[in-house]
């Protein structure tokens, strides 16, 4: 899922690829943001690009 976020795919597109609902992806992204103490998807992409 992380690769898809970095690639800029939407929650809906990621859900289709992973065979889960858009809502499930939203929940996953929210939990990741919370655990990393980030406030936006943009911050998440920056963070992930620095880690890879």
Q: What is the pTM of this model?
A: 0.86
Distance between CA 5 and CA 33 in Å, rounded? 12
Distance between CA 24 and CA 38 in Å, rounded? 19
The mean of the pLDDT values for the chain is 96
What topology is assigned to 2-51 in CATH?
Answer: Arc Repressor Mutant, subunit A (1.10.10)
Short-list 28, 31, 32, CA closest to 18: 28
Instruction: Give the start-to-end residue ranges of the domains of the chain.
Output: 2-51
What digits encode the pLDDT tens for the residues 25-39? Answer: 999 999 999 999 999
Q: Using 50, 70 and 90 to split pLDDT, how confident is the model at 51? A: confident
Say how far residue 7 (Cα) sits from the centre of its chain.
10
């Amino acid at each position: 899922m992380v690769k898809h976020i970095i690639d800029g795919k939407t929650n809906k597109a990621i859900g289709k690829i992973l065979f889960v609902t858009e809502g499930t992806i939203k929940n996953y992204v929210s939990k990741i943001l919370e655990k990393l103490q980030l406030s936006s998807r943009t911050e998440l992409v920056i963070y992930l690009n620095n880690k890879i």
